[in-house]
Structure 1
């Protein structure tokens, strides 16, 4: 449900009561990821958790748990030597992923998932292209 529609329906008293709400999930978001469904969830402006630890060969699953469209776009300059590039849309490099976003490519819609298996240990930084200015950045730490 649209937050503004909900607040209007609840009246001005509810608006004042909810104005200071700082939950990491918006009113239209699912519960954060956990269990077998996914490892990393997404709110409107952040990955949950922001830093995720895994081991070589284990798949990592992101799920868009918000009503917004997102991307998962690796920052090429942060990839460990010999590591494969990863991005929603299957792009082979960051420039192509960013260009594709301008043409509606690489989008991860609500409730959709993206999976990547990391074969090289190290730290991987990634962003959501449309929400990076709002601080939507993440980090994967891969160990042996």
Structure 2
């Protein structure tokens, strides 16, 4: 009987403790798109023109946020973590020195001024399908 009482107490305390932790995580989300080990979460987001999207690396792997140059609307500003002006420079920067890397907890943000669809990817995980889309209305 003592063992069962102990297990009930520990299980109840654990559930209460975890509930507090999980609730804290949900409330403190200060980003729009997270990065798992091989995906953007969510993979697609819709925002209004003029909105700023914040990406946060929520995994232990290094990632990038890199626009496909041919995947953004005409007249839109190119975007990439690391501040690159175009896709070839972003790819070269990553290959030569992992420039543009976002490590665990790092954030990157971009303000979308032009309506349309923006396709982007993570350079080191592109082959694994780590791609995303921002739809600007």
TM-score normalised by the chain length of structure 1: 0.75
Structure 1 residue runs of 4+, over 2 Å off?
Answer: 31-36
Cα-to-partner distance string for 1:77-104 (whole Å, 9 max, x where unaligned): 0110100000000000000000000122
Q: Name the CA distance, whole Å, in 2 between partners of 1:101 and 1:33.
A: 32
* 1:1-144 map, 5 Å: 37-102=30-95, 103-143=97-137
Change (3 A) 1:86 1:33: farther
TM-score normalised by the chain length of structure 2: 0.78
**Any gaps of 5 or more consecutive residues in structure 1?**
1-30
Output the aligned Cα RMSD. Answer: 1.8
Q: Name the CA distance, whole Å, in 1 between partners of 2:28 and 2:104.
A: 19
Q: Name the CA distance, whole Å, in 2 between partners of 1:32 and 1:137.
A: 25
Higher helix share: 2
User: SS at 1:97's partner residue?
Assistant: helix
Cα-to-partner distance string for 1:23-63 (whole Å, 9 max, x where unaligned): xxxxxxxx988776000001000000000000110100000
**Any gaps of 5 or more consecutive residues in structure 2?**
1-23
Q: Name the CA distance, whole Å, in 1 between partners of 2:86 and 2:26.
A: 27
- For these two proteins, the number of residue pairs brought into alignment is 113
> Larger relative contact order (C-alpha < 8 A, sep ≥ 6)?
2
